[in-house]
Amino acid sequence: MAAREFNLTFEVAPLPMNVQHLVVSASLRDENSTAAAVGLGGSLTASVRSRSDNAMSGYAKFSSLMISRPGKYRVRVMLSAASYNGVVTKEYVDSGVINVNAAAPAAQRPTPLQAGTLQRLTAENLDISAADIAKWQAA
């Protein structure tokens, strides 16, 4: 008997998958967190990246955040999940009060405690390099 070739086609219903992409965004609030404020600049949105490839924890990096107007503010960081269905806000957290003084220099050096924290983060490969820390310390 001679070999014969057959083609079989299977139709399978798609699996119900809802892949989420986690995103964080930063916004400026007034001192009491009751209203939005203007004057926040820099990268205001970032993707959440995971150290362990799971969707339950991760980190995000905002580059060059800057408040351009004097006053008292809070920065709100909001976690959202984006999927093919749209974007849903999951959670948010507000910073402590930030007092922006008109006479303060535009860039300020980190305290030794802040520099130490950043240096520990370089070992975790969180998009912070020793060069970034040195640049900030030289500001």
Q: How far is CA 123 from CA 15, 51, 116, 127, 129, in A?
A: 39, 12, 12, 10, 9
Number of compact structural domains in the chain: 2
Asked if 31 and 74 touch (Cβ cutoff 8 Å), the reply is yes
Q: Is 9 among the domain residues?
A: no
Same domain, 58 and 110: no
Local confidence pLDDT in tens for the 139 residues of the chain: 555 555 555 565 665 555 568 889 999 999 999 999 999 999 999 888 776 665 566 788 887 889 999 999 999 999 998 877 788 889 999 999 999 999 888 777 888 888 888 887 777 666 777 888 888 888 7
Same domain, 110 and 42: no
Domain residue limits at 127: 105-139
pTM of the model: 0.70
Distance, CA of 73 to CA of 101 (rounded, Å): 11
